Amino acid sequence: MTAVSDLVGAAHQPTWPEPEVLRDTIELLRRLPPLVEAQQCARLAGELAAVTRGERVVLQAGDCAELFSESGPEAIRAKTAQLAGLGESLSRTGRAPILIGRMAGQYAKPRSHRAEIGADDAEVPVYLGDAVNDLAPTAAGRRPDPRRLLLAYAHAARALQTLAAGPAVYTSHEALLLEYEHALRRTDPVRDEVFASSAHMVWIGERTRAPGGPHIGFADGITNPVGVKIGPEADPAEILAVVERLAWNRPPGRVSLIVRMGADRIGERLPPIVRALGEHAANVVWLSDPMHGNTVRSAQGLKTRVLRRLTDEVEQFCAVLHRHGRHPGGLHLEITPDEVSECVDESADLSTGPDHARYRSACDPRLNPGQAGALVERFTDVLTT
């Protein structure tokens, strides 16, 4: 059971309008079968341990915000095919890639603004992900609906059906909505331990990773591999506290630190963290998320990212880790198999791009196939030279 105290102080939780519907929805979720099996989570944990030894490499990637309408076989096959293709490029490192989708459950978003201008120039609440409200920018669409948590389960289950028939891709998402995540905890029948059955791996976002907070508390209570995002303001002592708590008494690879500091700051901010972690730094999986510290506005006001800046951050990430004798473990990216124009290649492109007509992301700008391929190639080159 989730005690109310487990959720006290949880940041970025929706204000659900119908408490009795929320309660009934959570009750239903508690009784549903696990979305993923404990055994598969344990297998991923074993593979991530090999990343800490420099034997394997990770590609964790997918949409910023997945849509329910894209949980069908065609969309999921296109995404897994993209991951598999990028994985082939990573194979050149001599380390077998571990493919983890931001997929089959990436339905909830923390947002820095509460409201925006929607249809008819009226102010509407922001989109919080399909698990909470609708992308349609109307007052009705943006009203949080607790029934959507059940739809999130159903769409994740649907996506997982296709994944089961595809190349080996694990699932992951940000464990943001604590009521949902708590309701999907299950007991591993073999090990008699509690695991999150919503995905093989979950991560805790930059905004919710306070060491004593309820999100890290949730992560502490499950055996799955867990990620923790770390931004440019991360305090080394705080990250040490998080890692000590989550990695205590667990095998190497249990914690992935997903570094998202921005090309301007990573060179200064990452080294003190690597040093503060001491020997823990050898047992965590170091992933580079070059997306979230490099978001800018185009001249037309679109939220975008410049591929060259992303490549710059990835290169610096690898250089810092190599200097400290640690293994760069892989990439965490926002990508799509669609030929979108959401990120631009060069800073000079910001005056004209991205192209509004091909900007389709429900949230943050994603790399299109060519851009994703170029970034992964560059990472592969750095690891092979």
Through-space distance between the first and last CA atoms of the chain, rounded to whole angstroms = 51
- Using a 10 angstrom Cβ sphere, with 0-12 exposed, 13-18 middle and 19 or more buried, the burial of residue 267 is middle
Smallest separation, CB 65 to ligand PEP (Å)? 7
In the complex, the smallest distance separating the C-beta of residue 260 from ligand PEP, rounded to whole angstroms, is: 5
Pairing of strands 56-62, 328-334: parallel
Residue 192: CB minimum distance to ligand PEP, A: 32
Among residues 206, 315, 342, 349, the one that binds ligand PEP under rule CB under 6 A: 206
List the interface residues with ligand PEP, window 31-60 (CB under 6 A). Answer: none
Tell me the C-alpha distance between 68 and 105, whole Å.
9
33: amino acid identity, one letter: P
Q: 229: annotated binding-site residue?
A: yes
- Quick one: angle between helices 266-277 and 236-247, nearest 10? 50
Q: Which of 12, 186, 229, 254 binds ligand PEP (CB under 6 A)?
A: 229
Strand-pair category, 303-305 with 295-297:
antiparallel
- C-alpha distances in angstroms, 248 versus 95, 210, 214, 243? 27, 17, 17, 8
Q: Does the protein bind ligand PEP through residue 290 (CB under 6 A)? A: no
Report how far apart, in Å, the C-alpha atoms of 45 and of each of 240, 278, 349 are: 21, 22, 41
Least distance in angstroms from the C-beta of 105 to Mn ion:
15
Q: Does 130 bind ligand PEP (CB under 6 A)?
A: no
Closest contact distance (angstroms) between CB of 231 and ligand PEP is 6
Closest CA to 256 of 275, 243, 269: 243
CB atoms within 10 A of CB 108: 26
Task: Considering only the stretches 18-26, 60-68, 98-106, 347-355, report the one whose residues sit in contact with Mn ion under the rule CB under 5 A.
Answer: 60-68
Q: Which is nearer to Mn ion, 2 or 295 (CB)?
A: 295
Query: Can you tell me which of 64, 152, 184, 196 binds Mn ion, judged by CB under 5 A?
Result: 64
27 vs 29: CA distance, rounded Å: 6
> Considering the rule CB under 6 A, would residue 269 count as an interface residue with ligand PEP?
no
C-beta closer to Mn ion: residue 179 or 364: 364
CB 259 within 8 A of CB 234: no
Which residue number, 66 or 364, has a Cβ lying nearer to Mn ion? Answer: 364
Q: Give ∠ CA 221-226-231 in degrees, rounded to 5.
A: 120
Residue type (1 letter), 319? A
- Which of 182/229 has CB closer to ligand PEP? 229
Of the pair 26, 202, the CB lying nearest ligand PEP is at: 202
**Which segment (86-94, 153-161, 199-207, 232-240) binds ligand PEP by CB under 6 A?**
199-207
Chain positions contacting ligand PEP, by CB under 6 A: 64, 110, 174, 205-207, 229, 260, 292, 364
Binding region for phosphoenolpyruvate: 102, 206-207, 229, 260
Residues at the site binding Mn ion, with contacts judged by CB under 5 A: 64, 364
